[in-house]
Amino acid sequence: MVATVHRTKTSAEIPDMSETHRHGAAGRDALRIGRIPVALFVVAAIFFALGLCALPIVVPYAADFFYQPIVLASVHTFTLLWITAAIMGVMYGYVPALTRTPIRWPRIAWAQVALFTVGAAGMVAHFALGAWVGLWLAAIAVVASILMFAANILPCLWRGLGRGVAETGMFMSICLFIAAATVGTVLGIDKTYNFLGGDVLTNLSAHVHLAALGWVALSICAVSYRMLPAFILPSTKLPRSALWQLYALAAIAIALAVSLLLDPGFAIALAVAAGGAMLWWVAIVARMMATRRMPLNWTPRHALAGIIAMIAAVALGVALAAVGGGSAWGARIAPAYGAAGLLGFFSNFIIGMSYQLFPGFVTRARQNRGWPPVTIAEISSARPRGLVFVIFNAGVVLMVAGFLAGALILTQLGAALAALGGVIYGATALWTLSFALRRAIPRAARESSLRVLPS
């Protein structure tokens, strides 16, 4: 017999449930997006593992010179199909609950997810083929899907703009994502019609920094300001400076992009300022965490690894701005900078957060469908987490060192290790997420006679 015992809900479950009580039918509408975050997390986990498996083939090209078709394909597998898919999933899952506003068009959200996935995969394929017309046609589809995403999420965030820290940060990051994607699409169209002036590498750098700082880093800062109090530090108050840190980061991302497009003379100073804004975020988060003794599980460990990688990426980014991407040293620093930023910083954060978020979203999606309940522990595969942490991070460190030293064998060894970590991570993440797509409960749950179930 199964004993059903009420337990304290996780913070991942609380917001949507309160939504139902507060808004009745509207609250249920908000719940209808229940499996959209899961769909995006499935896309993210699959492409993270696939992207890492392709890395041992890609790194010799990147070590040779970062600006080539297969490297562009690899970069956008991570930036769009892994990082962006995960961030969109988090925003779909949290923004309606955080702002107590249901998203306006839940059905459009499904079309958006499909268009985004097909469009981004199309971009990756056309980058790899070096087929620019196909690339920018796919990019137009992705931009359309980002506008659909914005049409659903921005109205929820609008009321909190300038007041709520996380709301303001996410609002700005979505706007900067639209800008970055538009600049990227224009750069693609320019390959066919050749209408842009300026230097290819500085134009490209404007797009990269708008996307990496304005979209990804700003989203991570904003979401972390929401997640830290929610998951780890329940009674800690967010300092007002958090809002100013977000404004500073957004302003610097815009200024850096404009400077790279119009007058690269200011780029070094702005790269240093961008590093300062990121370190400001670290200081705010560190001060908040210093007020509490936290359990050191794999989420904060990945966050810590991410922060260390971020500091390395800041140093490499400033060095790159100083020597220029076209120089011999620039060609070594650029791929190291990309690996430290995309894999070391962004990916560590997403992996760490996913251990908290994925099971929470799955239990909620099952509740919404009236399926037999499962506990977070039953659908979390905790055992491989240590292995993933060590293998993945050792791989990233070797890759960065190998690029900088010009030692290809080291870089390839690192890529192979990161790929192994990615496959183990992807398999366990998909196993967890699969319980939002099937009614079955995990074997451990079937065999256990004393279970603590979600209420």
313 near ligand HEM, judged by CB under 6 A: no
Footprint (CB under 6 A) of ligand HEM, residues 97-156: 139, 142-143
Binding of ligand HEM by 204 (CB under 6 A): yes
Q: Which among 106-114, 182-190, 370-378, 379-387 is the span making contact with ligand HEM, rule CB under 6 A?
A: 182-190
For CA atoms 382, 54, 317, 401, give the dihedral sign: positive
> If we measure between CA atoms, which residue out of 92, 116, 90 comes closest to residue 105?
92
When asked if residue 43 is in the footprint of ligand HEM (CB under 6 A), the reply is no
Binding mask 346-385 for ligand HEM (x = CB under 6 A): ----------------------------------------
Residues 77 and 451 sit within 8 Å (Cβ to Cβ)? no
Site string for ligand HEM, 241-280 (x = CB under 6 A): ----------------------------------------
Residue 86 touches ligand HEM, criterion: CB under 6 A: no
Looking at residue 346, the DSSP 8-state letter turns out to be I
| Residue 84 contacts ligand HEM per CB under 6 A | yes
Q: Which is nearer to ligand HEM, 37 or 338 (CB)?
A: 338
Does the protein bind ligand HEM through residue 208 (CB under 6 A)?
A: yes
Torsion of CA 270, 271, 272, 274, to 10 degrees: 90
Chain residue at closest Cβ approach to ligand HEM: 184
Which CB sits closer to ligand HEM, 128 or 166? 128
Residue 320 within binding range of ligand HEM, rule CB under 6 A: no
Amino acid identity of residue 180, one-letter, is A
**What angle (nearest 5°) sits at the alpha carbon of residue 66, between those of residues 65 and 68?**
90
> 283: Cβ–Cβ under 8 A, 6 or more apart, which residues?
none
H or E element that contains 452 = strand 450-452
Is residue 185 within the footprint of ligand HEM (CB under 6 A)? yes
Q: Does position 79 bind ligand HEM by CB under 6 A?
A: yes
* 71-79, 93-101, 407-415, 420-428 -> range binding ligand HEM (CB under 6 A): 71-79
Cα–Cα distance, 270 to 257 (Å, whole number):
10
Q: Is 240 helix (H, G, I), strand (E, B) or coil?
A: coil
Contact between 170 and 157 (Cβ < 8 Å): yes
Phi then psi for residue 98, to 5 deg, are -65, -40
C-alpha to C-alpha distance for 292 and 360, rounded to whole angstroms = 23
Q: Where on the chain is the footprint of ligand HEM (CB under 6 A)?
A: 66-67, 71-72, 75-76, 79-80, 84, 139, 142-143, 180-181, 184-185, 187-188, 200, 203-204, 207-208, 211-212, 215-216, 338
